[in-house]
Structure 1
Amino acid sequence: AVQQALATTEASRPSHSQPLRQAIIHYYAAPNVRIAIREEFLTQLMPESPSRTESVREIILGKPVRGRREVKQTTSIDLTPDADEICFDLTVEGQVSTYAITETGPIALTSRGSGQFTVKKPMKLNCDGLVVGRSVASASNRARLMNVSTSFDSVPLMGSLLRTLARNQHADSLPEANREVAQKIIWQSCRETDRESEEKFTALSNQIEKSFWQPLIRLGLEPTPFMETTEDRATLRLRLNADTQLAAHTPRPREPNGTLFGYEVHESTINNAFDRLGINGERLSLENLFIRVQQQLGLEPEIPEDLPEGVAVTFEEIEPLRVDFDEGLVEVRVSIDSLESGRRNWYDVIGSVTYKPIGIGNTVVLQREGPIRISGPGHRGRIEFALRTIFGKIFPKERPLPIVPKRISNHPRLQNMTALQAVSWDGWIAVALGGPPEIQTAEMIDEKSSVIR
């Protein structure tokens, strides 16, 4: 109704409509999804790099060198403050230990080297997607001569003279050799970082595009991002609504202190998606209903094994599906024009089921609370065991719904995290994960406060 009134105003008085549009967006169409991630959490998501040992065959100062080296490195994320984009450096720090033999004519020099390197690869996420820069690096190396041997060691005077000469030449050329080795470390570390990171981040970006962004576009929700990066936190806010739909219009819960990963989703996000599924007034079997919804959301179709067979449902034209987030609970309401099951049909019924968000370790699930409630003109207060059984198969009590991505809850380096927040209040559901537990509570915004954006 608000959007329709705005459309009428824009058509009749276009010069006065812009301030009104901005006011409506501010109060009734604020971003309805917010995701905030701390720098520490992003670093923990980075894969661990096991130490590796590799053979060495190189030319240093024009002389052949052979041996082996061991490389140990760590990967971290360093956020770069930006008001409009998510910017960060992928930082790789490593140590290189080398055992090498340099042979020149009759002389063989055995040395050990110790090097360090730091690679920074700039990346940013903006409205155009993921933008990747070229790696830059710094490195140092220190070599220590361990032994000198010659093919004339059995000749007392000649062997001693050659070893002394070799040690002096090695000392003179050592600074230049260290610089050349450091440059090779820079070149190799940049090449490896560019290759590995671009491959993995491109795959991740494509996966997000396919499984998250494109389904939103197909639903016509017109995702509008707002991004910000501070020294220790990256924040992404999204407004998901079609032209005729509103978005967030109530204050959202605050995330508790110590939050490393958190998100808040307004009920308008889910309800806007429900309205765009195209099931209003449609007659579908339960199997086809599950397939259609999963395909619309970019998921692989998967039919629950215990889904009742031979059941067809015709949804109401107006708000066939709706969720409400309030007073600590999530209510799902299904409005049905007709439900056909073998010899028994039901008309004009509403099924409601309530869930409660519960933190369990490093994840949060929606646990069904209480029985399924049946109402509507076609119910008339009768106890409908068969109808309740059908709804019970669709919303099974023994199957909690996880609302933290498995990529996070199953990550081996995040197993010591705990849910700090799992609340449903005033149109919002809020989830926050942090470090090992301290008793913390979410501070709720006073109802009279302005909407946080």
Structure 2
Amino acid sequence: PDIELHPSDKAASFSLVLKGTSDSRTTAYKDPARIYGSSHSEFTARKRLEITANGLRALAAEVKVHETNNEILGADTDVGGLFAGMARNTAMKKARERIPDAEALAARRVRERVASRLNQEVDASVTSINRRLRQGPGAALEQHGLGPASLAAHSTSKELVVEASLLFANQLAAGSPPAALPKGARAVVQIHESAVNNAIDQLGLAGQTIEGAHVRERIAQALAPVFGTSVKLPDDPEQQAPEGSITFAARAPLRVRFVDGQIEVILHAASLQRGNLKTPAQVIRARYQPVLAENRVTLRRQGDVEIRAAEISPEVVSISLQGFAAARDAAIGAALRAPMDRVFRPQINSPKAFTITTELGNVVPLEVTALESRDGWLTLAVR
């Protein structure tokens, strides 16, 4: 079916549009005659759907029959002998006279049959989709305290827009996304860094101590409720797992920024331990450049992982110790460089093309056409 968008400021409104034909063979009994005929109808069916804060809502289907043609193919009667032919001709003549009424009846039956079938199938799919959203991503988000603070949807004749805000006490969230969207995309997802960071603050990383070998796994587990599905950070079999352990800071343990065409990941560690070396608070930063290749999407790290000591008030460190502090920080950075390189890999790859299966069982091929980071927004476009 095709999709037709409708302007609405209260919901994201669209219709599934199905064009088709209906052909049938008929036998009408009118004692003492039997009339044989055929009927052909062309129709357009529309099933309107709305995306609201409460989920997906289906309205009643509307079916318009553009044209119906009935044809009399023949007739039989119980009259025999010399009058058989006359009786048959009379029956066919009367049947042809009733063709307008028969076509109106056939059109009405097509409307009723198609509308009933469309309502039945789409309504069942809508019920299933809403149930899966509540029990799947919706339940996971609520379980981790990540239900959206607000959800709104609207539509124009060209696009559907669904906006969700994720914020909690003492948190800020962004307003509407930038107007400029990639052209030629079938769907565009825009995420503001505040939504990701607000969610991370709810996921229990603050103050946790995690073995280096499990840092990537733990971050992936923490991100899963944000996206409503499992998140896998690709492994490089040639790289060893990071050694030691990380204790995340009590505030802002992990931050993400979408700026200047890059994705910046900032890890605030209260301390890091590697063997006998235990470091004070560190800020670890990695910047990734999204790159679309022929068959994959790559996040390519820009330069080395940046490691520096957390800011210390000038009153705490005397002038005479500043040289020592700089040397100490350089030594710590050198010791942590290798394990942090294993946490923040130089390159992360993902397939550019993928498929999704609709509720009706249709497999839809999709391809990433844009991945842009700008002014706090990450924009992903597919077609």
Q: For 2:116, which of 191, 196, 200 is the aligned residue?
A: 191
- Describe how 1:86-97 pairs up with structure 2 within 5 A: 86-97=12-23
Distance in 2 (alpha carbons) for counterparts of 1:336 and 1:105:
92
- Describe how 1:50-449 pairs up with structure 2 within 5 A: 75-102=1-28, 107-139=33-65, 140-149=67-76, 157-217=82-142, 218-220=144-146, 222-248=148-174, 252=178, 254-285=180-211, 286=214, 289-290=218-219, 292-293=221-222, 296-297=225-226, 298-300=228-230, 308=241, 312-340=245-273, 343=275, 346-347=278-279, 348-360=281-293, 365-377=297-309, 380-382=329-331, 387-388=336-337, 390-401=339-350, 407=356, 419=369, 421-433=370-382
Distance 1:225 1:163, change over 3 A: same
Which deviations, in whole Å up to 9, do the C-alpha atoms of 1:188-231 show, x marking residues without a partner?
A: 11111111111222222333344444444433464312322222
Report the AA paired with residue 185 of structure 1: V
Asked if 2 retains the 8 angstrom alpha-carbon contact of 1:364 and 1:431, the reply is no
Question: What TM-score do you get using the length of structure 1 for normalisation?
Answer: 0.65
Count of matched residue pairs: 352
Distance in 1 (alpha carbons) for counterparts of 2:106 and 2:309:
82
Distance in 2 (alpha carbons) for counterparts of 1:270 and 1:328:
17
Asked if 1 retains the 8 angstrom alpha-carbon contact of 2:296 and 2:349, the reply is no
Distance 1:211 1:382, change over 3 A: farther
Q: Cα distance, 1:329 vs. partner?
A: 0.8
Distance in 2 (alpha carbons) for counterparts of 1:431 and 1:262:
6
Distance in 2 (alpha carbons) for counterparts of 1:346 and 1:89:
61
Identity of aligned residues (%): 20
Distance in 1 (alpha carbons) for counterparts of 2:154 and 2:89:
62
Which deviations, in whole Å up to 9, do the C-alpha atoms of 1:30-77 show, x marking residues without a partner?
A: xxxxxxxxxxxxxxxxxxxxxxxxxxxxxxxxxxxxxxxxxxxxx233
Distance 1:369 1:289, change over 3 A: closer
Distance 1:295 1:229, change over 3 A: closer
Q: Which runs of 5+ in 1 are unaligned?
A: 1-74, 435-453
Distance 1:263 1:291, change over 3 A: closer
Q: Cα distance, 1:235 vs. partner?
A: 1.6
Asked if 2 retains the 8 angstrom alpha-carbon contact of 1:353 and 1:368, the reply is no
Question: What TM-score do you get using the length of structure 2 for normalisation?
Answer: 0.75
Asked if 2 retains the 8 angstrom alpha-carbon contact of 1:250 and 1:426, the reply is no
Q: Cα distance, 1:144 vs. partner?
A: 0.9
Q: Which runs of 5+ in 2 are unaligned?
A: 311-327
Distance in 1 (alpha carbons) for counterparts of 2:353 and 2:105:
49
Report the AA paired with residue 326 of structure 1: V
Report the AA paired with residue 256 of structure 2: V
Worse-matched range after superposition: 391-400 or 367-376: 391-400
- Structure 2 counterpart SS, 1:84: coil
- Structure 1 counterpart SS, 2:329: coil
